[in-house]
Structure 1
Amino acid sequence: MIFSLLFLCLNLSSLFRFSSGRGAAIRSYNQSGYDDKIYGHSGRRLYSDNDFQMSEEDYNARLEKLAQGYMSNSDLEKAMQEVNSRCPNISRIYSIGKSALGVPLLAMEISDSPGKIDAEPSFKFVGNVHGNEPVGRELLLLLANWLCDNYLKDSLATTIVDGVHLHILPSMNPDGYALRRRGNANHIDLNRDFPDQFFPMNDDMDLRQPETKAMLNWMEDIHFTASATLHGGALVANYPWDGTEDKKRDYFGCPDDKTFRFLASLYSRSHYNMSLSKEFPDGITNGAFWYPIYGGMQDWNYIHSGCFELTLEISDDKWPDASELPTIWDYNRMSMLNLVGSVIKTGIHGRVFSSDGKPLPASIAIRGINYTIAAGKKFGEYYRLLAPGEKYEVIASMPGYRLKRACVILGEGAATVDFVLDPDTSSTLNGSSRVLEDAGCYFDSKTSLQVVDFLPATQLEISLLLFVMLGFLCLLMQRRARRNQKQMPAVPRRAAVI
């Protein structure tokens, strides 16, 4: 144990570095673009110049031609069933709801314990949010097949299946795909249909689309740690915030801006050429700086679900020729795998217990970051994504218990910190109100992990005892060495030979 701690300290002294994300200039396009003119929604995604010169009939004919080689909705369902039949032990298929036209929104879970609730984190991929951006649905089926084929053969595939509940929704908008248009069957852009933090445009639950309601219920049922949606029309990893309070185009970072820039950079740098973008430095962008949108799913995930979501633009063409799909998959495969793996391979995670061993759904806060996540209700588990190479004060609190905190210098890998909360016997019984007042870490540059009142008493005593024993052994060895030197006879010096 002692040597493990010493080795950890030495390794964590070398901190992982990453580049900061910057927004990029918007590529100009006709504001009365094709989708806007027909469906009445502002187009954030990029279009070919030729699209704006086509009639609706020619445009639909072009999409029908491009759709050759892509899976239909029925083909997609059959492909999912085929994966499940080949790997029934690590997969299951279920529906999160139905589209406006009654098409089931089928999802697939890939895990070593599909359908079971445990202490492992959950990650979701969502494709085909916009009906005319079908590349994501194809890539997500390729991802499911790859994990099925490589489980227990490839180390990363095995790590993901054994350590993460991966949920894949290949198509959030099957109606829009079948109709060859951006919006759903009701002509609504689903990525503008979520409640917004600045404007009350989508606050009426009765007016939301069936697909949106299904997503909201899904996020309420499953405690997702992180997620990503796959779009087309550019090549960039987009992160919150997606809009600004004054509707102006400007960089507007959320409280976890550093962490989101790290996640976006992780995807971009794992990609074949996304990080080489000349339009988006490092291949990443803040959404509000690129092009503000409102009612988006990305910000909703972070604000209301404790889920860190990226919007991934994975192909310059919205609907590339099907012959290009294998290449696009090759370019994105490692990015997709590394992003899923990040929920267990980076950040800080652990469990929270009461002093009598009961799991607690405590709040987990980071000093200096105005954002908290909740530990799981059944197991008290938490997974807090954080940028590596930083110092963090992690605080666990819950009403009726004394808060506990740990001071961590996070290296490249994940850090595990478990908390044991003692009942608060004071008159107020409100430990959570003193989270930021009582917290205070004093980092020593020579130390990689400082524990501040979060270990159970027995573990702390054992650790101190081991350190005392190590010091005592060192003292005995020094005394023995001195005694041996005194007992050794003097050896006459030899003359130097020149």
Structure 2
Amino acid sequence: MIKLRFVQSLLFFTAICFFIPKIAARGGHSDYIQPGDGNASFHGTARHLFAQEEKRPSVELTRGYMTNADLEKAMKDFTKRCSKISRLYSIGKSVNGFPLWVIEISDKPGEIEAEPAFKYIGNVHGDEPVGRELLLRLANWICDNYEKDPLAKLIVENVHLHILPSLNPDGFSVRRRNNANNVDLNRDFPDQFFLINEDLSLRQPETTAIMNWLREIRFTASATLHGGALVANFPWDGTEDKRKYYYGCPDDQTFRFLASLYSKSHRNMSFSIEFEDGITNGASWYPIYGGMQDWNYIHGGCFELTLEISDNKWPRASELPTIWEYNRKSMLNLVASLVKTGVHGRIFSLDQGKPLPGLVVVKGINYTVKAHQAYADYHRLLEPGKIYEVTASSPGYKPKTTTVWLGENAVTADFILIPEASYGGKLLRSSCDCSYGQPLLLTRFFTETNNGITFALVVVVAFLFFLLQRRVRSNLWKQRQSSRRSITV
């Protein structure tokens, strides 16, 4: 009888252990101090939101992975070998002073173009090194194939791809999750729900570097590579009441599309038993606060995914080629989605035909996309297979709206905005350098001449306006890609 009870207890304990979910790279369910807990002040201690430190991998297990010095050399060698389509730059330094190196890949690296930008970031957690290895492999694959592979060529010619293999070189060097100050970098960003990480003096240099990076470059989308699970995670990462449930952001359907694109292109991510279709809403998985993903979407205008690309955080180096092959197509397709789908275009002023910085909104989605200050190009990612009402606006101009059917391919929608007129007939001052004396002089001239001359001048002015608009439309046609369906509003 005693033996039978012992066996039953053993079987019950084994079953419980089998079904307990794994604590993964974002930080497990119990890896942070809950906001509002009586045991801690959320505005103080909980700011760091430390994850439980796992046992560090042995030195033997790390063999075959690039050291920080190896990675730096490999990145420098890459930009020498592929100098025509790449450049190397740093966005800052880690706590211990190691440069945060970035490779940019484009047919015009370092130049500002009317094209979308994408960034990949790896090694946010020091004990998750697979991402840094895969990102360098991605760069080399594009370099070796962009002249012969259509997808690689599409990316090089139409996207500015920025690759930061290691955000946390200090943590990697000691095989630890957090940075040199023992802070989890994926809990160090300002949070939308709770007042944490607001003190600039306490923010980590790696975090500051990312935030400054997004102020300098307008990224359309991005992804961070983590380890410890196999799933594509999307916002929101937290909830207003700190509970675990599905909490979608305004672009929830678009994020589901992007996450599914990655998952279904992967060898086996979409077959996940734990996550339906291999994707998950962050808050539904488990809430975190101070994460990079939500901050990117809210403050950077950047659609970011958190990609868990390996069940094992630190697999043996011999497994890296297989993991790369499993993720290669997904990584490429995610970048290419910036030009293969969505609504893209530029905003122009009718009065001068110049690029006009403005805003683009989609009816029913509470999110605004900003057009570039210089080129006035915008890139609005949206879920395909739907009809959208898109509106472009700029101060001093009448907004314009068009209805777009977004099918399998991207749509180009260029907007030509007309200046607004005040009650007195003067043009309202806008962001362009317009001449405000001419309309008044013409009006006065019309009143002092006979009707015949007035009519002739009206016809001439109208004809010149027609030629100007035709010229603007002609320039737009030249800039469009033949693969896109294009409209001008």
| Coarse TM-score class (shorter-chain normalised) | 0.7 to 0.9
Do 1:136 and 1:231's aligned partners in 2 also have CA atoms closer than 8 Å? Answer: yes
Do 1:424 and 1:430's aligned partners in 2 also have CA atoms closer than 8 Å? Answer: no
Please report how far the alpha carbon of residue 458 of structure 1 lies from its aligned counterpart in structure 2 after TM superposition: 4.8
Return closer, same or farther for 1:314/1:71 CA change in 2, 3 Å cut-off: same
Please report how far the alpha carbon of residue 85 of structure 1 lies from its aligned counterpart in structure 2 after TM superposition: 1.3
TM-score when scaled to structure 2?
Answer: 0.78
User: In the alignment, which residue of structure 1 is the partner of 2:240?
Assistant: 245
Please report how far the alpha carbon of residue 357 of structure 1 lies from its aligned counterpart in structure 2 after TM superposition: 1.1
User: In the alignment, which residue of structure 2 is the partner of 1:276?
Assistant: 271
Task: State how far apart, in whole Å, the 1-side matches of 2:51 and 2:119 are.
Answer: 25
Structure 1 position 169 matched with structure 2 position 176: no
User: In the alignment, which residue of structure 2 is the partner of 1:396?
Assistant: 392
The aligned amino acid for 2:177 is R
User: In the alignment, which residue of structure 2 is the partner of 1:123?
Assistant: 118
Q: 1:370 aligns with which of 366, 370, 380?
A: 366
Q: 1:67 aligns with which of 62, 65, 69?
A: 62
Please report how far the alpha carbon of residue 426 of structure 1 lies from its aligned counterpart in structure 2 after TM superposition: 3.4
User: In the alignment, which residue of structure 2 is the partner of 1:223?
Assistant: 218
Give CA-to-partner distance per residue, 1:320-347, whole Å, 9 cap, x none: 0100000000000000000000001100
User: In the alignment, which residue of structure 2 is the partner of 1:410?
Assistant: 406
Task: State how far apart, in whole Å, the 2-side matches of 1:245 and 1:298 are.
Answer: 16
Do 1:348 and 1:417's aligned partners in 2 also have CA atoms closer than 8 Å? Answer: yes
Task: State how far apart, in whole Å, the 1-side matches of 2:167 and 2:322 are.
Answer: 24
SS of residue matched to 1:207: coil
Do 1:352 and 1:359's aligned partners in 2 also have CA atoms closer than 8 Å? Answer: yes
User: In the alignment, which residue of structure 1 is the partner of 2:193?
Assistant: 198
SS of residue matched to 1:396: strand
Task: State how far apart, in whole Å, the 2-side matches of 1:96 and 1:391 are.
Answer: 39
Give CA-to-partner distance per residue, 1:274-307, whole Å, 9 cap, x none: 0000000000000000010000000000001110
Give CA-to-partner distance per residue, 1:131-174, whole Å, 9 cap, x none: 00000000000000001101111110011001100000000000
SS of residue matched to 1:268: helix
Q: 1:27 aligns with which of 8, 11, 21?
A: 21
Return closer, same or farther for 1:84/1:461 CA change in 2, 3 Å cut-off: closer
The aligned amino acid for 1:157 is A
Q: Superposed, which structure 2 residues align to 1:86-485 within 5 Å? A: 86-355=81-350, 356-427=352-423, 458=470
Give CA-to-partner distance per residue, 1:236-278, whole Å, 9 cap, x none: 0000000001000010000000000000000000000000000
Task: State how far apart, in whole Å, the 2-side matches of 1:461 and 1:66 are.
Answer: 60
Task: State how far apart, in whole Å, the 2-side matches of 1:196 and 1:305 are.
Answer: 13
Return closer, same or farther for 1:184/1:400 CA change in 2, 3 Å cut-off: same
The aligned amino acid for 1:202 is N
SS of residue matched to 1:63: coil
Do 2:50 and 2:183's aligned partners in 1 also have CA atoms closer than 8 Å? Answer: no
SS of residue matched to 1:224: coil
Do 1:33 and 1:43's aligned partners in 2 also have CA atoms closer than 8 Å? Answer: no
Give CA-to-partner distance per residue, 1:205-251, whole Å, 9 cap, x none: 11100000000000100000000000000000000000001000010
Do 2:22 and 2:28's aligned partners in 1 also have CA atoms closer than 8 Å? Answer: no
Please report how far the alpha carbon of residue 376 of structure 1 lies from its aligned counterpart in structure 2 after TM superposition: 0.5
Task: State how far apart, in whole Å, the 1-side matches of 2:238 and 2:358 are.
Answer: 30
Please report how far the alpha carbon of residue 43 of structure 1 lies from its aligned counterpart in structure 2 after TM superposition: 3.8
Do 1:26 and 1:291's aligned partners in 2 also have CA atoms closer than 8 Å? Answer: no
Task: State how far apart, in whole Å, the 1-side matches of 2:469 and 2:104 are.
Answer: 40
Task: State how far apart, in whole Å, the 2-side matches of 1:461 and 1:270 are.
Answer: 38
The aligned amino acid for 2:333 is N
The aligned amino acid for 2:175 is R
List 4+ stretches of structure 1 deviating above 2 A: 28-37, 39-44, 426-431, 456-462
Q: 1:78 aligns with which of 70, 73, 77?
A: 73
SS of residue matched to 1:269: helix
The aligned amino acid for 2:397 is Y
SS of residue matched to 1:401: coil
Task: State how far apart, in whole Å, the 1-side matches of 2:167 and 2:473 are.
Answer: 53
Do 1:401 and 1:430's aligned partners in 2 also have CA atoms closer than 8 Å? Answer: no
The aligned amino acid for 1:405 is T
SS of residue matched to 2:383: coil
Task: State how far apart, in whole Å, the 2-side matches of 1:266 and 1:430 are.
Answer: 44
Task: State how far apart, in whole Å, the 2-side matches of 1:424 and 1:382 are.
Answer: 22
Return closer, same or farther for 1:338/1:29 CA change in 2, 3 Å cut-off: closer
The answer for unaligned runs of 5 or more in structure 1 is 1-24, 52-58, 432-455, 463-498
Please report how far the alpha carbon of residue 95 of structure 1 lies from its aligned counterpart in structure 2 after TM superposition: 0.3
Return closer, same or farther for 1:393/1:206 CA change in 2, 3 Å cut-off: same
Give CA-to-partner distance per residue, 1:427-470, whole Å, 9 cap, x none: 59699xxxxxxxxxxxxxxxxxxxxxxxx9659999xxxxxxxx
Task: State how far apart, in whole Å, the 1-side matches of 2:314 and 2:341 are.
Answer: 34
Do 2:296 and 2:304's aligned partners in 1 also have CA atoms closer than 8 Å? Answer: yes
Task: State how far apart, in whole Å, the 1-side matches of 2:206 and 2:473 are.
Answer: 54
Return closer, same or farther for 1:33/1:457 CA change in 2, 3 Å cut-off: closer
Task: State how far apart, in whole Å, the 2-side matches of 1:222 and 1:343 are.
Answer: 16
Do 1:35 and 1:182's aligned partners in 2 also have CA atoms closer than 8 Å? Answer: no
SS of residue matched to 2:87: strand
Task: State how far apart, in whole Å, the 2-side matches of 1:391 and 1:430 are.
Answer: 34
Do 1:130 and 1:176's aligned partners in 2 also have CA atoms closer than 8 Å? Answer: yes
Task: State how far apart, in whole Å, the 2-side matches of 1:417 and 1:325 are.
Answer: 42
Do 2:353 and 2:472's aligned partners in 1 also have CA atoms closer than 8 Å? Answer: no
Do 1:99 and 1:175's aligned partners in 2 also have CA atoms closer than 8 Å? Answer: yes
Return closer, same or farther for 1:279/1:354 CA change in 2, 3 Å cut-off: same
SS of residue matched to 1:334: helix
